[in-house]
């Protein structure tokens, strides 16, 4: 009976509120606007003996102006009944103005508590939380007072939050309907090249999603799902120490705070007819949250390139290679996730991903070669043309299990995650090389080659993290992590034999291998502060090992790296007038992978022979960074940083003349060495300005000096280079719901980025630049533009027309040299690409899709549908 009475009362009050406040409007707000109803309060009600109290009324009231009486009166905002375990949860609460929480039960004293919002402007760099755990509340005895909640209506575009710089991108409308790559083009400090590769300060970062390493690529993450991007140039001890000094790029996804369903549909086409499409769907009701997404992309890339190499040995050889390639096929991705809210404090999550890729690249490679015989003073010339047809198929499956538990003490939490991703691939390539006396001349010979490959990979990550706050400024974080990786690779190289009349297998001991790599880690960080000064100390310990074998000869390799310590330090001082200084230090590691260690040459591609170096050791990087943040009136922000990175035993590519084991003759072979050291020092400035309501700009400039010291007698050492990277974004909001975005990037002459990874399942590599210790990139720039038209109610639909690399200037142009050769290499991919995309958002907030026909005995969640 008590439950029925309370239900009737709450429904009656709700009807009165909706009649008085149509559309959820708030006095003092702008006409036609709705308040930010994203607040969330939850807790558990106990009696004097500490036992849960079911069927207890919990309501939230707000004082609002009544036009009829001309005075303020308390009106009901939201109300629920507690569950059997005493839990209650109040969502979609307005964040503007004070609220009054009232808890009532027969025989108990009414509990009231004021929750204050916007009591003062948040300090620069702070990110408010819209979730508040009230803990265990006893209706009798002493009741701890709830601290005021401080929120802000509009997030600043850029913030410093501990060890990361946060760029809020959820209102970046130009990337709507795109992928995370489109978002990254607008994030300061991040450089996106013509192939979609992302670098920070001339090195590749690790990609995280919601603070966890991910196997997804940026193309697989919808832009509409991203709330902010965290650029972590100096990661704390909480994060993996591997990855060298490049840092971490953490994508924070939007959190669905409203019951009901929402989603979006996307479709597009480019100037070559390549189609793309995708859909995202989210459904939340009661204790269940379901997310699903799917995406497909056709690929019709076009790439042209040139390699011009001259050997500088006894008999100089000049080789000119012109390459034109096309890439067909496509890519498909699907993801399904489920969150189950066991209670207010415990959430279980499971999600699965499925990936399928099928690529069919073809290429034509023209090879002109002139050899000058010094002693005889004569020159011989040869011309060849290599036609390549290949196919690559990859299928991957992933599974993520997670648990998050919040303790009654605000901020104390425990998370446990298990992540699996595995896949298999096949690659086939047919090479037909014809030789002529000259271009268009008489045929002199022909060579047929084919490659058949396959492989598997499996990654398993298990991680747990615990956070224990002691007060508002002091907390302890600790965690454990294990990363287990298994790889299998098989490549079979066949050459057609005129004698046999069939293809003959060419043995290659490095082509077929299996290996396992395991990394185990533990960390702890302690942070505290005194007034406006704060600090964070951290220590991470990692231990790793790998083992593997070459399948053809059953030769085994292995190594075990002892436990290493990785300290981190962060000091922050808040100054007057919205200013902040931060100093950070960390130590990181980059371990050689199995392929870099195999002591056999891979002659799969005769134009690019590679060989591992079993003598490689891990590289260690020390990083120091000083940052200054200033927030001006009008939400203008300035972020300036000075940084220095020093690496011992840098692992880098290197070319030298060795004996090719496949032929027994001398050849130039790409291998790896530990350079003596390397350093990068620089200064970076990021400015974001909101000039008017319809125009904002973002400017990023990074000036840096870098050098690699090979410390070998055969290496050609180059002088340290001063380089500049700049990025400029300008966004215009025009009448009739039109938006325009202009993006420009510039990269001056700079050292080649260190590339020590081999593409898994990629088959034989194409033309490549040489070692990063032996060359540089010539200057280039690129300009993109996008125009967007939004329409329908609430701008639910939009059409975007974009043009990338308007002036065909975003070209990869590299120079490399050694004691054996001088080489120029350039490459241009999909210039002046035109794309047309359509996006549509849909959703319903007050749907009761999972409502039970019978509420059961406890009546739990009966009020969830009330707005």
In terms of domains, do 354 and 494 share one? yes
Q: Is the pLDDT of residue 662 over 50?
A: yes
Is 86:58 a contact under the CB 8 Å cutoff?
no
Mind giving me the DSSP string for 539-583? EEEEEEEEEEEETTTTEEEEEEEEEEEEEEEEEEEEETTTEEEEE
- Identify whether residues 133 and 277 lie together within a single domain: no
Region of poorest pLDDT, from 44-53, 60-69, 111-120: 111-120
Last residue of a domain, one of 138, 158, 180: 138
The confidence score (pLDDT) of residue 531 equals 87
- Residues 326-356: tens digit of each pLDDT: 999 988 888 899 999 888 889 999 999 898 9
pLDDT of residue 611: 81
What's the CA gap between 581 and 164, in Å, rounded? 13
- Tell me the per-residue pLDDT of 470-484, one tens digit each, with 9 for 90 and over: 988 899 999 999 999
Which range has highest mean pLDDT (309-313, 536-540, 577-581)?
Answer: 536-540
CATH number at residue 424: 2.40.170.20
- Residue 322 belongs to some domain of the structure: yes
Among residues 200, 194, 195, 171, the alpha carbon closest in space to that of 183 is found at 171
**Nearest partner of 209 among 224, 227, 191, judged by Cα:** 227
Contact 92, 867 (CB under 8 A): yes
Which of 113-122, 174-183, 612-621, 779-788 has the highest mean predicted lDDT (pLDDT)? 779-788
Structural element, H or E, at residue 182: helix 180-184
Whole-number percent of the chain with pLDDT over 70: 79
Q: How far apart are CA 712 and CA 714, in angstroms?
A: 6
| The pLDDT of residue 175 | 62
CA dist 500 and 496 (Å) reads 8
Give 735's contacts (C-beta < 8 A, 6+ positions apart). none
Instruction: Report d(CA 813, CA 825) in Å as an integer.
Output: 6
Asked whether residue 278 is assigned to any structural domain, the reply reads yes
- Lookup: tokens for 477: 């974080």
* Residues 694 and 656 sit within 8 Å (Cβ to Cβ): no
pLDDT at 48 over 80: no
Task: For residue 211, tell me if it sits in a domain.
Answer: no
* CATH code of residue 116: 2.60.40.10
DSSP 498: T
**Chain position carrying tokens 């109610």:** 793
Q: Does any domain span residue 217?
A: no
Claim to verify: residue 266 and residue 133 sit in the same structural domain: no
**In a shared domain, residues 128 and 274:** no
Please provide residue 597's backbone torsions phi and psi, each rounded to the nearest 5 degrees.
-100, -15
Compute the C-alpha angle 692/697/699, nearest 5°: 150
Q: Which two tokens stand for residue 135?
A: 């803990």
- pLDDT reported for residue 862: 26
Quick one: pLDDT band at residue 18, thresholds 50, 70, 90? very low
Nearest to 155 by CA among 227, 107, 77: 227
pLDDT score for 852: 33
DSSP label of 210: T
Domain that holds residue 101: 2-138
What string of DSSP letters covers 97-117? S-EEEEEE-TTSPPEEEEE--
**What is the pLDDT averaged over residues 591-596?**
78
Domain termination site, one of 138, 160, 177: 138
pLDDT at residue number 860: 32
pLDDT at 857: 33
The span from the CA of 417 to the CA of 117, in Å, is 34
Inside any domain, residue 52: yes
DSSP-assigned letter for residue 795 = G
User: 828: which strand partners?
Assistant: 304
Among 759, 772, 800, 801, smallest CA distance to 678 is for 772
Band of the pLDDT at 490, cuts 50, 70, 90? confident
pLDDT of residue 736: 94
Q: For the residues 419-436, what does the mean pLDDT come to?
A: 92
In degrees, rounded to 5, the angle at the alpha carbon of residue 326 between the alpha carbons of residues 320 and 331 is 140
Q: Please tell me the distance from the alpha carbon of residue 863 to that of residue 853, in angstroms, as a whole number.
A: 14
Q: Compute CA 17 distance to the chain's CA centroid, rounded to the nearest angstrom.
A: 44
Please check whether residues 336 and 482 belong to one and the same domain: yes
Q: How far apart are CA 318 and CA 321, in angstroms?
A: 10
Q: Are 704 and 726 in contact (CB under 8 A)?
A: no
**725 is a domain residue:** yes
Q: Is 130 exposed, middle or buried (0-12, 13-18, 19+ CB in 10 A)?
A: middle
pLDDT at position 304, please? Answer: 94
pLDDT of residue 21: 36
Residues whose CB is less than 8 angstroms from the CB of residue 129 and which lie 6 or more positions away in sequence, other chains included: 149
CB atoms within 10 A of CB 251: 23
Q: Are the beta carbons of 627 and 640 closer than 8 angstroms?
A: yes
Q: Considering only CA atoms, give the Rg of the chain.
A: 31
Residue 145 scores a pLDDT above 70: no
Q: Are residues 524 and 660 in the same domain?
A: yes
Residue 20 in tokens: 């008085």
Rounded distance between C-alpha atoms, residue 697 and residue 687, angstroms: 8
* Exposure b/e, 166-200, CB count within 10 A at least 16 = b: bbbbeebbbbbbbbbbbbbbbbbbbbbbbeeebbb
Beta carbons of 362 and 390 less than 8 angstroms apart:
yes
User: Span 175-202, mean pLDDT?
Assistant: 73
Predicted model pTM: 0.76
Q: Which of 9-13, 112-116, 672-676, 677-681 has the highest mean pLDDT?
A: 677-681
Report the distance separating Cα 392 and Cα 383, nearest Å. 29
Q: Do 462 and 608 belong together in one domain?
A: yes
Q: Is residue 370 part of a domain?
A: yes
Average pLDDT, the chain: 79
pLDDT of residue 759: 41
Band (636; pLDDT cuts 50, 70, 90) = confident
Dist CA 867 CA 855 (whole Å) = 19
Average pLDDT over residues 18-39: 44
Beta bridge partners of 702: 684, 725
Give me the pLDDT at residue 106, please.
72
Q: Does the pLDDT at position 357 exceed 60?
A: yes
205 DSSP assignment: P
CA dist., res. 792 & res. 790, Å (int): 7
Whether the predicted pLDDT of 444 surpasses 70:
yes
How many of the other CB atoms lie within 10 Å of CB of 17? Answer: 18
- In angstroms, the CA 258 to CA 130 distance is 13
With beta carbons less than 8 A apart as the criterion, state whether 553 and 571 touch.
no
Residues in the chain: 867
Q: Could you give the number of structural domains in the chain?
A: 2
Among the candidates 92, 121, 138, a domain finishes at 138
**Which residues make Cβ contacts (< 8 Å) with residue 19, sequence separation at least 6?**
none
| Residues paired with residue 270 on neighbouring β-strands, in sequence order | 835
Say how far apart CA 227 and CA 300 lie, in whole Å.
31
Diameter of the chain measured on Cα atoms: 112
Q: Are residues 661 and 806 in the same domain?
A: yes
In angstroms, rounded to a whole number, what is the distance separating the alpha carbons of residues 204 and 181? Answer: 14
CA distance to 233, 252, 258, 565, per residue, from 206 (Å): 10, 14, 32, 20
* Banded model confidence at residue 710, pLDDT cuts 50, 70, 90: low
**Cα–Cα distance, 865 to 701 (Å, whole number):** 50
Whether 25 maps to a domain, the answer reads yes
Note the pLDDT tens digit of each residue in 724-776: 999 998 989 899 999 898 989 999 998 776 543 434 333 333 334 344 446 78
Pairing of strands 164-168, 206-209: unpaired
Cα torsion through 668, 674, 677, 679, rounded to 10: 70
Q: Highest mean pLDDT: which of 1-10, 24-33, 453-462, 811-820?
A: 453-462
Name the DSSP letter for residue 173.
G
CA 404 – CA 400 distance, rounded (Å): 13
Confidence of residue 233 (pLDDT cuts 50, 70, 90): confident
């Amino acid at each position: 009976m008590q439950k029925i009475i309370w239900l009737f009362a709450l429904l009656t009050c709700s009807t009165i509120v909706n009649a008085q406040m149509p559309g959820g409007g708030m006095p003092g707000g702008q006409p036609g606007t709705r308040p930010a109803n994203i607040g969330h309060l939850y807790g558990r009600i106990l009696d004097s003996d500490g036992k849960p109290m079911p069927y207890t009324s919990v309501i939230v009231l707000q004082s609002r102006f009544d036009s009829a009486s001309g005075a303020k009166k308390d009106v009901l905002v939201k109300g629920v009944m507690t569950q059997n375990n005493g839990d209650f949860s109040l969502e979609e609460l307005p964040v503007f103005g004070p609220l009054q929480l009232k808890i009532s039960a027969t025989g108990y004293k009414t509990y009231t508590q004021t929750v204050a919002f916007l009591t003062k402007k948040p300090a620069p760099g702070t990110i408010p939380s819209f979730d508040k755990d009230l803990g265990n509340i006893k209706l009798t005895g002493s009741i701890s007072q709830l601290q005021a909640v401080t929120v802000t209506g509009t997030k600043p575009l850029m913030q410093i939050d501990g060890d990361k710089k946060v760029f809020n991108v959820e209102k970046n409308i130009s990337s709507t309907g795109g992928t995370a790559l489109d978002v990254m083009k607008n994030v300061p400090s991040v450089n996106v090249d013509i192939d979609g590769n992302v670098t920070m300060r001339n090195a590749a970062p690790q990609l995280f999603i919601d603070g966890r390493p991910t196997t997804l690529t940026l193309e697989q993450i919808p832009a509409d799902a991203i709330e902010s991007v965290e650029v972590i140039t100096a990661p704390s001890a909480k994060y993996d120490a591997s990855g060298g000094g490049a840092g971490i790029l953490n994508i924070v996804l939007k959190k669905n705070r409203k019951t009901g369903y929402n989603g979006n549909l996307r479709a597009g086409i480019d100037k070559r007819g390549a189609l793309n499409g995708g859909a995202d769907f989210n459904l939340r009701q009661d204790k269940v949250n379901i997310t699903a997404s799917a995406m497909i992309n056709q690929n019709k890339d076009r790439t042209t390139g040139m390699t011009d190499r001259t050997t500088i040995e006894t008999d100089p050889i000049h080789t000119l290679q012109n390459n034109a390639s096309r890439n067909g096929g496509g890519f498909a991705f699907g993801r399904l996730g489920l969150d189950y809210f066991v209670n207010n404090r415990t959430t279980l999550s499971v999600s699965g991903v499925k990936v399928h890729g099928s690529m069919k690249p073809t290429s034509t490679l023209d090879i002109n070669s002139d050899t000058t015989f010094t002693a005889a003073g004569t020159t011989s010339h040869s011309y060849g043309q290599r036609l390549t047809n290949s196919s690559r198929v990859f299928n991957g499956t992933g599974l993520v299990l997670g648990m998050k538990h919040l303790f009654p003490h605000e901020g104390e939490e425990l998370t446990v995650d298990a992540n699996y991703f595995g896949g298999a691939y096949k690659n086939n390539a047919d090479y037909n090389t014809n030789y002529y006396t000259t271009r268009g001349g008489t045929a002199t010979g022909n060579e047929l080659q084919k490659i058949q490959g396959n492989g598997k990979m499996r990654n398993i990550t298990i991680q747990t993290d615990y956070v224990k706050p002691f007060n508002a400024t002091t907390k302890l974080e600790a965690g454990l992590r294990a990363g287990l990786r298994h790889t299998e690779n098989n490549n079979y190289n066949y050459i057609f034999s005129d004698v046999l009349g069939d293809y003959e297998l060419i043995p290659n001991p490095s082509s077929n291998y299996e290996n396992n790599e395991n990394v185990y880690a533990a960390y702890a960080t302690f942070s505290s502060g005194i007034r406006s000064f704060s600090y964070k100390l951290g220590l991470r310990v990692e231990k790793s090992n790998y083992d593997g074998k070459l399948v053809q000869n059953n030769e085994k390799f292995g190594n075990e790296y002892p436990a290493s310590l990785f300290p981190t330090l962060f000091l922050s001082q808040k100054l007057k007038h919205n200013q902040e200084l931060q100093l950070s230090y960390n130590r990181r590691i980059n371990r050689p992978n199995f392929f870099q260690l195999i002591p056999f040459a891979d002659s799969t591609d005769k134009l690019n022979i590679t060989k591992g170096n079993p003598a490689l050791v891990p590289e260690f990087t020390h990083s120091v960074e000083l940052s200054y943040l200033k927030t001006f009136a009008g939400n203008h922000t300035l972020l300036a940083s000075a940084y220095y990175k020093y690496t011992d035993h840098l692992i880098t590519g290197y070319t030298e003349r060795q004996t090719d084991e496949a032929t027994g003759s001398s050849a130039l072979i790409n291998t790896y060495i530990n350079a003596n050291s390397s350093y990068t020092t620089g200064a970076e400035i990021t400015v974001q300005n909101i000039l008017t309501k319809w125009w904002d700009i973002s400017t990023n400039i990074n000036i840096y000096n870098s050098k690699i010291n090979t410390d070998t007698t055969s290496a050609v050492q180059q002088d340290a280079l001063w380089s500049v990277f700049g990025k400029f974004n300008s966004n215009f909001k025009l009448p009739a719901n039109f938006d325009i975005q202009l993006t420009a990037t510039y990269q001056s002459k700079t050292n080649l980025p260190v590339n020590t990874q081999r593409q898994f399942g990629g088959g034989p590599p194409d033309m490549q630049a040489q070692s990063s210790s032996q060359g540089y990139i010539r200057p280039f720039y690129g300009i993109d533009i996008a125009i967007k038209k939004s329409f329908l109610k609430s701008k639910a639909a939009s059409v975007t027309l974009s043009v990338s690399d308007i002036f065909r200037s975003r070209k990869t142009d590299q120079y490399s040299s050694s004691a054996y050769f001088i080489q120029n290499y350039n490459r241009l991919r999909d210039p002046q690409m035109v794309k047309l995309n359509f996006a549509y958002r849909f959703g319903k907030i007050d749907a009761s899709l999972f409502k039970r026909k019978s509420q059961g005995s406890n009546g739990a969640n009966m009020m969830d549908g009330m707005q």
